[in-house]
Copies of this chain bind each other. A is one copy, B any other.
């Protein structure tokens, strides 16, 4: 593995933060019900084919675009940069990398952006110019019990995490945490621009695919409420994993699956990472508290399922399998059955340590 992407000679753009994702959904009404009626995201604007959504504390036009289409997929991961000049730098950067780039306004409210298919195969957008909209930070009358207040991060699946992470670090991201084994294999890496644990993460697996998009709540009880609401609506089937405490990131989490199977994380309370010497935290892949600090094993679908990503023409990007080893928590017991909970094990789980 790990035939690295070359580092361009030109400077990387000054990325501020992950800003929005565009999701292709097959039934816009069902998706709108999930993201607006159930999760309560704010509608900035919408028409028959597209819904533009944002979190309550956002002041830019949108954090999520739902676009009607035939196959569920992600058509772009968009990042905001510090100025329009930085958009040009992004274009030059990817041009040097030999990637296809396009300039234009691809989305309502956002102007003069650049889109690329990056060397890993992910569709990325970089933009600065954006319409400002009302920041509903103080609108508690509109915010429900499970209010999503910020877009926090993306998570991307790619077979070679070392390669993917090095490419993102060249692009100016800082690695805050990762998961490794004693042989130095990297299973996942968390990478940030703003002052949180990540703006995006690389999860080892068949890719390029999108693992999840994450929105923040203010507090943990807001996340518990979302579960209670789904239970009350008899939609608990939408809860894939959690709620729980992550080891990595120290955040409280919940994973949902939208009507097309796109995974959405609800997330709260990681830590400040803005100093240049912010300490890297590495977790042992055998540490059963790395993914769930309370030791619960991760449900297999969380490791295997992810969304396709598209190229700039809307075609599905081909997926490459990850070579072994894979990070997965299913253990085969002495009886030949698979067990997904620690208490069923014949023998104890080897406990790793945070290093």
Contacts and interface: CB of A to CB of B under 8 A. Distances in A.
Which secondary structure characterizes the binding site on chain A?
loop
A190 to B, nearest CB: 14
Contacts of A338: 337-338
Given A57-B272, A221-B219, A234 B289 contact: yes
Contacts of A278: 59
A71 interface: no
A229 B294 contact: no
Contacts of A144: 144-145
Given A220-B220, A257-B343, 6 more contacts: A57-B272, A132-B279, A138-B231, A144-B145, A227-B244, A227-B294
Nearest to A195: B195
Interface of A: 16-17, 57, 59-60, 80, 82-83, 132, 135, 137-145, 147, 149-150, 194-195, 218-221, 224-225, 227-234, 236-237, 239-240, 243-245, 247, 250, 252, 257, 269, 271-272, 274-279, 288-289, 293-296, 299-301, 337-338, 340-344, 348, 351, 354
Nearest to A240: B343
A257 B149 CA distance: 30
Contacts of A139: 232
Q: How many identical chains are in the complex?
A: 4
Contact of A224 (B17, B142, B220, B250): B220
Contacts of A140: 225, 228-229, 231-232
16 contacts: A57-B272, A82-B276, A132-B279, A135-B279, A144-B144, A150-B272, A194-B272, A218-B219, A219-B219, A219-B269, A227-B245, A227-B294, A236-B288, A236-B295, A237-B342, A301-B343
Contact of A293 (B60, B150, B231, B247): B231
Given A135-B279, A227-B245, A229-B141, A236 B293 contact: yes
B294 A239 contact: yes
B271 A137 contact: yes
A252 B237 contact: no
Contacts of A257: 343
Residue of A147, A233, A239 with most chain B CB atoms under a 10 A cut-off: A239
Given A237-B342, A271-B57, A293-B138, A277 B132 contact: yes
Residue of A17, A139, A219 with most chain B CB atoms under a 10 A cut-off: A219
A222 to B, nearest CB: 8
Contacts of A59: 275, 278-279
Contacts of A221: 219-221
B220 A289 contact: no
Nearest to A257: B343
A275 B239 contact: no
6 closest A-B pairs by CB: A236-B295, A145-B145, A140-B228, A231-B293, A140-B232, A141-B232
Contact of A138 (B142, B348, B354): B354
Given A269-B218, A278-B59, A351 B234 contact: yes
